Amino acid sequence: MLSSSYQSETSGSQAGRFGTTHWSIVLKAGQGADGALVRLCQIYWPPLYWYIRRRGHAIHEAQDLTQAFFAHLLENRALGGVAPSKGRFRSFLLVSLKHFLDNEWDKARTLKRGGGQMLISWDHLKPEDRELLEPCEQMTPERIFNRRWALMLLERVMNQLRNECVASRKRERFEKLKDYLTGDAAEKSYQEIAAQLNMSEGAVKVTVHRLRRRFGELVRAQIARTVDSPEEIDDEIRQLFAALT
């Protein structure tokens, strides 16, 4: 229902208003509300990290730089000075990161000594790191950033959907059916799954349909947090789609 409601929203009245959740958290960082910003870093680091990697920094340096960039966002109370007129959160982070890498990071590196805090845990970055970069070898750093952004978004939506299913004690259904989010299975596999889940074949199909629908809603809801107005959601989906092609 939320996704459909976006269509009926009155445009204009809020246009250009700066107030999505994520934006306001960045702004709040200017007031010292660091806890939420730290969470934001924990969510948004991957595209930033991969962008830095693509600019030629080695693994550890890229990790340090990602960390330093967020520390810079946190420490630099000048965030209040970020012109919040309009714009997407994604572009904001990318522009800030570029600016940071071009102008600020030497300064930040010296500043960070002594007071640096660990914001991101790198534990789950495995050695195949290099392999992950491989599909992107011909891409520009911006392209990688956007691709990573899209993948991160989908990954989070997938987790959210899983959590919702688990919360309704439907974990098994989710695990068995998630592969069909993107396309139907052969009739035979639906029959098999239906038998395994002790459901009718029709019920399995309805469930798949619902999972898809819900996935789509969650995608829109995620994106809604990073754009200025609901009218921009479709366009943001298109841009992310382009980044994946």
Please list every residue from 14 through 73 that binds another protein, using CB under 8 A: 14, 17-21, 24-25, 27-28, 30-36, 39-40, 43
Q: Which is nearer to another protein, 29 or 68 (CB)?
A: 29
Residues whose CB is less than 8 angstroms from the CB of residue 117 and which lie 6 or more positions away in sequence, other chains included: 71, 74
In this chain, which stretch among 62-70, 97-105, 109-117, 227-235 interacts with another protein, using CB under 8 A?
227-235
146 burial level (CB within 10 Å; 0-12, 13-18, 19+):
buried
Residues whose CB is less than 8 angstroms from the CB of residue 184 and which lie 6 or more positions away in sequence, other chains included: 190, 208
Instruction: Give me the least distance between CB of 45 and another protein, in Å please.
Output: 14
Number of residues that bind another protein (CB under 8 A): 81
Instruction: Give me the least distance between CB of 136 and another protein, in Å please.
Output: 7
Please list every residue from 137 through 176 that binds another protein, using CB under 8 A: 147, 150-151, 154-158, 160, 163-165, 168, 170
Enumerate long-range contacts of 77-82, CB under 8 Å, 24 or more apart. Answer: 77/29, 77/30, 77/32, 78/30, 79/26, 79/27, 79/29, 79/30, 80/27, 80/30, 80/31, 82/26, 82/27
Check binding of 109 to another protein (CB under 8 A).
no
Q: Which is nearer to another protein, 5 or 121 (CB)?
A: 5
Instruction: Give me the least distance between CB of 84 and another protein, in Å please.
Output: 7
The pair of structure tokens assigned to 102 is 């071009």
Cα 171–chain centre separation: 23
Instruction: Give me the least distance between CB of 127 and another protein, in Å please.
Output: 14
The pair of structure tokens assigned to 162 is 């899983």
Rounded to 10°, the helix 187-197/201-224 angle is 90
Instruction: Give me the least distance between CB of 104 and another protein, in Å please.
Output: 19
Please list every residue from 172 through 211 that binds another protein, using CB under 8 A: 178-179, 181-183, 210-211
Given candidates 15, 16, 61, 80, which one binds another protein under the rule CB under 8 A?
80
- CA atoms of 233 and 225, how far apart (whole Å): 10
Instruction: Give me the least distance between CB of 102 and another protein, in Å please.
Output: 24
Q: Which is nearer to another protein, 61 or 155 (CB)?
A: 155
Check binding of 215 to another protein (CB under 8 A).
yes
Q: Which is nearer to another protein, 91 or 160 (CB)?
A: 160
